[in-house]
Amino acid sequence: MRSYITRILSIAIMALIISSCANRGSPSGGEKDIEPPVITSEKPENFSTNYKGGEIVITFNEYIKIKDLRKQLIISPPMDTDPEIYPMGGASKYISIKIKDTLQPNTTYAFNFGESIVDNNEGNPYPYYRYVFSTGDTIDSLSVKGYVEDALSKKPEPFISVMLYEVDSTYTDSIVYKEKPRYITNTLDSVTTYSIDNIKAGTYKLVALKDKNGNFLFDQKNDQIGFYEDYITVPTDKEYGLTLFKEQTNFKAVKPKQEAESRIMFPYEGDYEHMRIKVLGDTPENYTTRITKDVETDTLYYWYKPNFEIDTTFFIVSNKKYVDTFKHRFRKLDSDSLNLKIISPRNLNFDKDFTLEGSTPLVKIDTTKISLIDKDSIPVTFNVVYDSIYNRYQLPFKKQEGQQYFVKILPETFTDFYGNVNKDTINEVIRTKMKSEYGNIRVRLINAKFPLIVQLVNNKGDVEYERYTTTSPVVDFTDVVPKLYDLRVIYDTNENGKYDTGNFLLGQQPERVSYCSPPLDEVRASFDFVYDFTLLE
């Protein structure tokens, strides 16, 4: 009996041991690591003085990686030769910085890593690490602080460079095109404020740059710029606001190219409004030209007749004070043919018109060959508006809600620059919605100083509705397509009816823009909205 009991106890103990071993083999995984890496040493120590160059080593308590270094790392003052930084693309317990540039004497340098240093496993960032040293006896400790805003958008893009240029005997405004700044920081990706730290006392020019090339030089064609009008003196307790804008690119003509038998394309940069194209030398008898613009690109098309019998000629392209001469060789290409394209939608809003576009310059329209009737076959009176630069005809007419309109355009309605006519009949159906499918917005402008441009813009900043007011503080937007809009006002200082950007060399700031705050509610069908928009005095 005792041996039986002993056997039972032995089996029970073995079962407990097996169970214990099985449980030990199923770990829970533990809590997720949310702690950032910790710096255990810096050689030389951060904020060292009399630095002579060489390698800097920052050691951490765990493996780290560096991400988005090109965006995040800001070295102030900038170096002509980039330092060699390790690790790049891998993991390590230390960061190595090998300086390749010749350092300036008695200068404080700062390496701003932003949030580029993260631990290898979870990606927890070491927030805004700065390594600072001086080649002199002291660390410069002064700062310039402020904020950046966008001239047209509600919020500027991330990673705006904010820079200080030392104003000394060599300073000129053109320095932003040719030399790197004395000090620099950026706004990173989550804030619009900035702080340029570890600078010395002096007089500076303060500039912000959306630096597409990442070279700390202003490229007018690609970059946005902002600047403080006056020089600033450091030390200072003032916060400096900078408004970022895109300059109007200086005009430049580009070499022309033959596109068809009697059409030459003239690319350009800048504003084409005063661009003129002339032949230098003799032209054929009864020579005539037309100019149209490409809808999407910075290109003018130069149409001409009759064709030249010579192989080569010269063109003079001018724009105000700008003049350039181009040698052009004619090529034998196919001629353009006349095609018509309807570019207005079939569901037409009340503020839009039926519009068609020609592939060659249009010179004549026979309105007797156009009919416009409603769904009850009743003729509708229409007008004709021609846009010669975009080569478009519009047919404005009074639209009724919930209607269908039928447009019929017969052959030979349109004649182009070369005497060609459209050969096919065009039939198009236009529909209008009910007024109840739209919303209406009334804006009451408080503290209005006229004239003002009042706009409804979509989430991309594109203008969808615009009103210009010179006297009335009440502005109405009727028949607005339901969706979400931002409401903004442009202060039309020069009274030309359009937004004017700034210019750095001229010391000209962009026209001021204000957004309504709080934002508008989403426009709903069959609703009338009223907003009070208080403008800054």
Q: How confident is the model at residue 33 (pLDDT cuts 50, 70, 90)?
A: low
Q: Which of 329, 356, 385 is the last residue of a domain?
A: 329
Residue 293 and residue 267 in contact, taking contact as beta carbons nearer than 8 Å: no
What confidence score (pLDDT) does residue 32 get?
67
Q: What is d(CA 22, CA 10) in angstroms, rounded to the nearest whole number? A: 19
Q: Which of 401, 433, 465 is the last residue of a domain?
A: 433
Q: Which residues, at least 6 apart from 345, have a Cβ–Cβ distance to it below 8 Å?
A: 352
The total number of structural domains that make up the chain: 5
Half-sphere exposure of 258 (CA within 13 A, CB side): 17
Q: What is d(CA 143, CA 32) in angstroms, rounded to the nearest whole number? A: 38
CATH of the domain at 94: 2.60.40.1220
CATH of the domain at 507: 2.60.40.1120
What confidence score (pLDDT) does residue 7 get?
52
455 within some domain: yes
For the four alpha carbons of 84, 89, 90 and 94, in that order, the dihedral sign comes to positive
Q: What is d(CA 366, CA 385) in angstroms, rounded to the nearest whole number? A: 13
Q: Does 169 lie in the same domain as 235?
A: yes
User: What pTM does this model have?
Assistant: 0.87
Give 193-233 pLDDT, tens digit per residue.
999 999 999 999 999 999 998 899 999 999 999 999 999 99
Strands of 424-518, DSSP E: 426-431, 439-446, 452-457, 463-469, 474-480, 486-491, 513-515
CA–chain centroid gap for 89, Å, is 30
Q: Does 153 lie in the same domain as 234?
A: yes
Dihedral angle computed from the Cα positions of residues 499, 503, 504 and 506, in that order, rounded to the nearest 10 degrees: -130
pLDDT, average across residues 146-160: 94
Give the tokens for residue 527: 């609703």
440 within some domain: yes
34 within some domain: no
Strand order across the 322-329 sheet: 275-280, 312-319, 322-329
Q: Which of 134, 166, 187 is the last residue of a domain?
A: 134
Give 310-360 pLDDT, tens digit per residue.
999 999 999 999 999 999 999 999 999 999 999 999 999 999 999 999 999
Find residue 359's DSSP bridge partners: none
What's the domain range around 486?
A: 436-534
Give 471-501 pLDDT, tens digit per residue.
999 999 999 999 999 999 999 999 999 999 9
Q: What is d(CA 265, CA 317) in angstroms, rounded to the nearest whole number? A: 12
Q: What is d(CA 534, CA 265) in angstroms, rounded to the nearest whole number? A: 48
Q: How confident is the model at residue 9 (pLDDT cuts 50, 70, 90)?
A: very low
Q: What is d(CA 42, CA 48) in angstroms, rounded to the nearest whole number? A: 10
> Residue 465: left if φ>0, alpha if ψ -120 to 50, beta else—which one?
beta
Q: Does 259 lie in the same domain as 183?
A: no
Q: What is d(CA 468, CA 51) in angstroms, rounded to the nearest whole number? A: 61
Q: How many residues does the chain have?
A: 537
What confidence score (pLDDT) does residue 25 get?
42
DSSP symbol at 365:
E
Q: What is d(CA 91, CA 135) in angstroms, rounded to the nearest whole number? A: 30
452 within some domain: yes
Q: Which residue type is seen at 478?
A: T
Q: Return the H-helix or E-strand segment holding 478.
A: strand 474-480
Q: Does 224 lie in the same domain as 182?
A: yes
DSSP string, 290-331: EEEE-SSSSEEEEEEES--SSSEEEEEEEETTEEEEEEEE--
Give the tokens for residue 287: 């020579």
Residue 292 and residue 361 in contact, taking contact as beta carbons nearer than 8 Å: yes
